[in-house]
Amino acid sequence: MSLRLYYHPLSSFCQKVLIALYENGTPFEREFIDLADPASRAKLVELWPPAKFPVLRDEARDRTVPESSIIIEYLDQHYPGPARLIPADADRARQTRMYDRFYDLHVNVPMQKIITDRLRPAGQNDGHGVEQARAGLRIAYDMIEQDMAARTWAMGEAFCMADCAAAPALFYANMVLPLSPDHPHAAAYLDRLMARPSYARVLKDAQPYLANVPR
C-alpha cells in the first residue's frame, strides 16, 4: 500500500487527517507513534526531525508530507475522492484555508495550552497564559456561533477541510471550556461533527485513550 500515516489516535491534528482519509475511503496503512518510546519516536524523527505528527509517507511518489493541512492538500491533489475537501473555485478555496487556519490557531492552540498546563508539575503552571487561552477560546466561540447560525458546515452545505480541522478542535475545547447556553449554534455544529461517520470512527479509535485527557 502506497500511503502510510504516522500518528497517534488522541492527537487532534492526527484526527483531522484521519477524517479526510475516511471521508474519501482512501486506502492507507497506519503507524502508531508513542513519543514516550525512544524506538517509536526515532521512527518519526527519521522522517521528520521536529518529531511532530501526523506525517504521511507516500512510497509510490517517494514523498514525505508533514503538517495536517498540507497532508489534506496533498491527498486532495494526488489521491482525490468523491469528497472534494478543498473547493475548485479559487476564492472559496482560499476561504476554506482561512477557516482551517482559524480552527487550528484560534481553537486548537488555546485548547492545547489549557490541557498541557494541567500536565505540568506542581508549581510550574502558567496561570496567566491559561487565562489568555480561555479568553481567546471565548472569542472564537462567539465567532463560530455567528458563523454557524445559518450554515450546516464551515463553508455552507459542503463538508470541507475546515470541518476536518473543526471537529477535533471543538471536541477537545468543549472538554476544557464547555460551550455555554449562549452558543447553541456552535454546540449544534459540534453535535453534527461528532455524528459525521468519519469523525465518529475517529472518536471510536481514540476512545481507549480519552481518559488520559485532563478535564
- pLDDT tens sequence across 9-34: 999 999 999 999 999 999 999 999 99
- pLDDT tens sequence across 121-162: 888 888 899 899 999 999 999 999 999 999 999 999 999 999
The cell numbers describing 41, all together, are 519516536
Looking at residues 83-107, what average pLDDT do you find?
Answer: 97
Question: Bridge-partner residues for 31, per DSSP?
Answer: 6
DSSP-H helix ranges across 57-152: 68-78, 90-103, 109-118, 127-147
Provide the pLDDT for residue 94.
Answer: 98
Domain boundaries of the chain, sorted by first residue: 3-78, 90-196
Q: Is 108 a residue whose pLDDT tops 70? A: yes
Count the Cβ atoms, other than its own, within 10 Å of residue 7. 22
Q: Is 40 a residue whose pLDDT tops 70? A: yes
Q: Which fold has domain 3-78?
A: Glutaredoxin (3.40.30)
pTM score: 0.95
Q: Is 64 a residue whose pLDDT tops 70? A: yes
Provide the pLDDT for residue 1.
Answer: 62
- Which residue in the block uniquely carries the three cell numbers 482519509? 21
Q: What H or E segment, with its residue span, contains residue 6?
A: strand 3-7
* Beta strands 63-66; 55-58: pairing state: antiparallel
- pLDDT tens sequence across 198-215: 999 999 999 999 988 877
Q: Which fold has domain 90-196?
A: Glutathione S-transferase Yfyf (Class Pi); Chain A, domain 2 (1.20.1050)
Cβ burial, residue 159 (10 Å; 0-12/13-18/19+): buried
The DSSP result for 167-212, as a single string, is HHHHHHHHHHSPPPTT-HHHHHHHHHHHHSHHHHHHHHHHGGGGGG
Residue (of 117, 116, 169) closest to 143 by Cα position: 169
